[in-house]
Amino acid sequence: MPLPSMPAARRLPLLVTADSDLLEDLLRLAAAGGSELEVAPDPSAARSRYPGAPLILIGMDQAGDAVRSALPRRPRVVLVARSSGYPEDPWQTAEALGAEHVAMLPAAEGWLVERFAERLPSLGRGRVLGVVGGRGGAGASVLASGLAVTAKRAGLRTLLVDADPLGGGLDLVLGWEDLDGLRWPALSQADGRIDATALVGALPNRGGLVVLSWDRGEMVGLPPQAMAATVDAGRRACDLVVVDLPRQFDDAAVVALQAADRVYLVVPAELRATAAASRIAALTRLHCADVALIVRGPTPGRLRARDIADSLHMPLAGTLRPEPALCRSLEQGVAPTSKGRGPLAALCQRLVAELTGTSVEAAA
């Protein structure tokens, strides 16, 4: 059964604090302004929700950690402190955070109630979709690329992010290795708010599809701050961000997982692949609540897709039949689903429609 589409939900203001007294006060003030709050106890827990929240409140107890965490710079950030009780200068701390305001309690209670009463739009609007393989060679990179190409054919501005430094490069999957543009090494030091329009213009792109992949030089580590800044920019510049995730989750992959609205786990219909995928599934669910399964044939042991889904305790999003023509096309540099025909194209058309509400017609 197809998974339900994801309606755009109104995001709530985000409060970052572990101070129970401050939390109680701000919940009371939010209620007075007719609002609810999302709460994160520390900057690490807040990172995935930080770019898209309409308003950010950072308690003084977490301000130092927030500065050290290098959260992306963005508007509508308020540092909340009490008029006494903290040795740090709140205005200096606010400057280091990039906060626009300092709300000193109890004097600023009325001002905060007014902020909670405002109906500010969320900053980020693009969907984020993750794809991960249950084992090596599962076909996750091909599915991620196919989803991105299909979204582009549907008229959606799409960013395809290669988060797997050992995957060989998504530009090769698309046949784009000769296109000019920045690769990950040039962005690995990004740790703040990236200009979304500049990012789209600087990366390899064709039409409405933009790709951030790896070069063929020395492998560099990818800091989580760079991934957070990139996903943030992608949300602002594009309708859909598709992230091809590594099977071994580093800190950058965890950031992408936490930002994802949905993750697809690709598993070949084999017993050993299913056993290996059980570990990946458990780790993925730690960071994303919406994880669904794609089962790829052939099925040498006659395992049924539904049985695999039941064993992994996951909803079944779809299946993929063997497609010999796809392998030939990839070797010839033809991007997956670009012709709009075949099992992969049909699956991607359905998944993109479910995710975004935008349909793409199959090729005749």
Query: How far from chain centre, in Å, is Cα 283?
Result: 16
Non-local (6+) Cβ contacts of 141 within 8 A are 131, 133, 162, 164, 167, 168, 170, 173, 244
More confident residue, 312 or 255: 312
**What pLDDT sits at residue 273?**
93
Q: Tell me whether residue 41 is exposed, middle or buried, using C-beta atoms within 10 angstroms of its C-beta: 0 to 12, 13 to 18, 19 or more.
A: middle
Q: Which residues partner with 204 through β-bridges? A: none
Strand 209-212 to 205-206 pairing:
antiparallel
More confident residue, 188 or 307: 307
Distance CA 223, CA 130 (A): 18
Whether the pLDDT of residue 362 is over 90: the answer is: no
DSSP E strand stretches across 115-190: 127-133, 158-162
Stated pTM of the model: 0.72
Average pLDDT of the chain? 87
**What pLDDT sits at residue 8?**
46
- Name all domains of the chain by residue range, CATH numbers in brackets: 14-117 (3.40.50.2300), 127-356 (3.40.50.300)
Q: Which of 336, 358, 130 is closest to 242 using CA atoms?
A: 130
The lowest-confidence range among 17-31, 70-84, 158-172, 234-248 is 70-84
- In this prediction, residue 31 has a pLDDT band, given cuts at 50, 70 and 90, of very high
When pLDDT is averaged across residues 153-172 and rounded to a whole number, the result is: 91
Whether the pLDDT of residue 123 is over 60: the answer is: no
DSSP E strand stretches across the chain: 14-16, 38-40, 56-59, 77-82, 101-105, 127-133, 158-162, 205-206, 209-212, 240-244, 262-268, 291-296, 316-320
Q: Which residues partner with 39 through β-bridges? A: 15
Whether the pLDDT of residue 107 is over 80: the answer is: yes
The lowest-confidence range among 65-79, 143-157, 216-230, 314-328 is 216-230
CB 127 within 8 A of CB 231: no
**What pLDDT sits at residue 2?**
54
The lowest-confidence range among 105-114, 185-194, 298-307, 337-346 is 185-194
- In this prediction, residue 9 has a pLDDT band, given cuts at 50, 70 and 90, of very low
Q: Tell me whether residue 104 is exposed, middle or buried, using C-beta atoms within 10 angstroms of its C-beta: 0 to 12, 13 to 18, 19 or more.
A: middle
* pLDDT tens digit sequence for 55-80: 999 999 999 999 988 777 778 899 99
* pLDDT tens digit sequence for 292-319: 999 999 888 888 999 999 999 999 999 9
Q: Which residues partner with 158 through β-bridges? A: 209, 240
Q: Tell me whether residue 26 is exposed, middle or buried, using C-beta atoms within 10 angstroms of its C-beta: 0 to 12, 13 to 18, 19 or more.
A: buried
Non-local (6+) Cβ contacts of 273 within 8 A are 134, 135, 138, 267
Tokens describing residue 63: 């301000």
**What pLDDT sits at residue 289?**
86
